[in-house]
Amino acid sequence: MTHAATIESSAYRRMERVIAHIDRHHERQPKLDELARVAGLSVFHFSREFRRWAGLSPTRYLRTVALSVAKQELDERGSVLAAAWAAGLSGGGRLHDLFVSFEAVTPGEYKDGGSGVRFHHGFAASPFGRIHAALSARGLAHLAFVDGSDNAALAQLKVRWPRATLVRDDEAIAALAAKIFIERRGEIRLAVSGSNFQVKVWQALLELGSRGPTSYSDLARAIGRPSASRAVGQAVGANPIAWLIPCHRVLRRDGGLGGYRWGVERKRTMLAWEHAASVRDLKSRPRAIRAGNQIAPVAG
């Protein structure tokens, strides 16, 4: 791991601790100096790092996750899931201008483990720690968060694509990461491998999750298998494309986080980052006022 990647990973871990602390104590709105202590930084350096990571000041972010928001949403809509979302798990809606197209690999490619397929793979920084990704001529086939060694991450790719040709290309993956997490616009093609059932779940997840929170039972109904929530959960856990196929947006029906392949604390932090992005986007819309649940332009 490079020195720059180590710094980025350390910054993410600090933000992960802070977001978990906010989630546990948001009812009392922790003070800035308390959050800085959790991060292990001075108030000045914490404020600067949080703003760089979230695009908002910590004080402004805290205001958006006030418990009163959850109570109001719960009273108005009677949905614990919606209340959890409103409380700051995420902002919902479209949070980027990426157009993500989805295509499953052929049954032959899936069965052959990628024989004859060439991947450019590598590592890059993201707001949620390092990623490992792999691109083929067909599109993005693998995107995972890395918590262990590079060799362990590479072994996970080889489990899914044991016969593929792998070419290390960190530059290509760094450009991909910038497109996904910084630019947040353009087109990305996904080329996933999985069973027919898994592919159906991932397609439903891409559709439902792009609109806001969803649940395992929502996904089961979407694929016409309302009694298959457990199997759907297993398919969600096998998702090969983190973030873009938004398995982090699947919550329990009671609004709880549930599990996550790359760690529940990372899931919490991802949802918080999305929430901050939605607040930033709302704030940046010119001359607009809130009208109910919609944005109404102000007459000139």
**Residue 119, by phi and psi: left (phi above 0), alpha (psi -120 to 50) or beta?**
beta
Going by their DSSP bridges, the two strands 165-168 and 131-136 should be labelled as: unpaired
Half-sphere exposure of 55 (CA within 13 A, CB side): 16
Out of 98-102, 150-154, 236-240, 277-281, pick the least confident. 277-281
In this prediction, residue 252 carries a pLDDT of 84
Instruction: Quote the tokens at residue 101.
Output: 């197209």
Q: Where in the chain is the domain with CATH 1.10.10.10?
A: 97-249
- 67 and 290 Cβ atoms separated by less than 8 Å: no
In this prediction, residue 284 carries a pLDDT of 60
Give catalytic status of residue 114 as yes or no: no
CATH topology of domain 1-92+263-295: Arc Repressor Mutant, subunit A (1.10.10)
**What are 34-93's pLDDT values in tens digits?**
999 999 999 999 999 999 999 999 988 888 776 445 445 545 544 545 555 444 444 444
Report if pTM > 0.85: no
Quick check: 222 pLDDT over 80?
yes
In this prediction, residue 83 carries a pLDDT of 52
Report the percent of the chain where pLDDT is more than 90: 54
Q: Which of 87, 247, 250, 272 is catalytic?
A: 247
Quick check: 215 pLDDT over 50?
yes
Q: Name the average pLDDT for the chain.
A: 82
Question: CATH top-level class for 97-249?
Answer: mainly alpha
Quick check: 28 pLDDT over 90?
no
Higher pLDDT, 102 or 74: 102
In this prediction, residue 48 carries a pLDDT of 96
Higher pLDDT, 139 or 5: 139
In this prediction, residue 101 carries a pLDDT of 87
